[in-house]
A = this chain, B = another copy of it.
Amino acid sequence: MLRIERAILSRLDHPMDFYELVSGLDYDLRSIISALNGLGDRGFIRVRDGLIERTVDFQDRRLTEAALEVVKREFARLTRNRPEPVVRFDQGYVTVESVMNRLRVLDSRDDLAGASLLLVGDDDLTSLAVCLTGLPARVAVAEIDRRLLDFLDQRRQDLPIPLELYEYDVRSPLPAKLLEAFDVSLCDPLETEQGFRLFVMRCREALVGPGSALYFGLTDVECPPERWLGFQEFLVGMGLRITDLWRSLHRYVLPERDFVLEEIEGARKYIRSDGRNSPRIPWYHSSLVRAELVSAHKRFPRVVSEGADIYH
């Protein structure tokens, strides 16, 4: 079932007129009408006395705040003793609250219930939270770090829906089973010129078709405006349009020793050398961007050779 069809059916919890329906949908009118026609032809809806009503059982599977509280508790339990971040892979994971924010966002955009999701890299262990909601149809993780894969593997039996795991380096082609197979793909890409493009390209290749969506995190803290612009040019070239941008949705858990500031010229002046104001708050933040595949474009960038240094 298409995302727009799921969105319509889940909103039709009572008979409503066309205006009430459109009022709560972020789709263009032509797509809505075409989806309504399709649902009507298959007997899922009917129009009576100017009201549109659902004629089939369709469980309104949205993520309530109460359900999210349960997911949060379980997620905190499952991720205790998680592997610590490795600087070599530019890791650094987001807080539990940030992962919950991601779930809220996915749900609000009809990208959770009934959807198939791929995470390209899962340092944040978001896959566990996604599975804990019990809402998606399929969840897969493609990850380079053996430690994380082992950790996820150990947690699998506690999840209400199965979790597929793949050992994967973004510099290699995607496994055939992951190509053009997902409604939604997510990554927290490297922010280097090449690294960002590679991650997003892989997420793009995993999408099943027009209307599917790709999510990525990107921060103003380290990524200068010029690079943000270049990345947006890249997205457009891949046929991806930005549909949503949530500022500072993520906060990060960083190691005590602050390697981010050490790399920046002139920063010393503003931090004490005795470490007395080492970070006490999750100060590092990034935005979450949603981009949607549009049919007309299908350009792909050149492939990066295996073994290339994409971290600098």
Contact = CB atoms under 8 A, between A and B. Distances in A.
Contact of A220 (B18, B28, B52, B280): B28
A33 B268 CA distance: 10
A282 to B, nearest CB: 8
A192 interface: no
Contacts of A297: 229
A151 to B, nearest CB: 29
Given A29-B267, A224-B31, A244-B247, A283 B20 contact: yes
Interface string A44-80: 0001011110000000000000000000000000000
A154 interface: no
Given A17-B271, A245-B245, A264-B30, A294 B225 contact: yes
A285 interface: yes
A270 interface: yes
A124 to B, nearest CB: 19
A276 interface: yes
A156 interface: no
Given A50-B276, A244-B247, A33 B225 contact: no
A224 B295 CA distance: 11
A239 interface: yes
A243 B245 contact: yes
Query: Which has the most chain B C-beta neighbours within 10 Å: A23, A223, A243, A297?
Result: A23
Nearest to A31: B224
A224 B283 contact: no
A33 B260 CA distance: 13
Interface string A259-278: 01100111101111000110
A210 to B, nearest CB: 8
Contacts of A210: 225
B22 A283 contact: yes
A264 B33 contact: yes
Given A225-B294, A226-B295, 12 more contacts: A23-B282, A28-B222, A29-B264, A33-B267, A37-B269, A47-B269, A52-B270, A225-B241, A226-B296, A228-B241, A232-B236, A243-B247
5 contacts: A18-B271, A19-B277, A23-B285, A29-B221, A29-B222
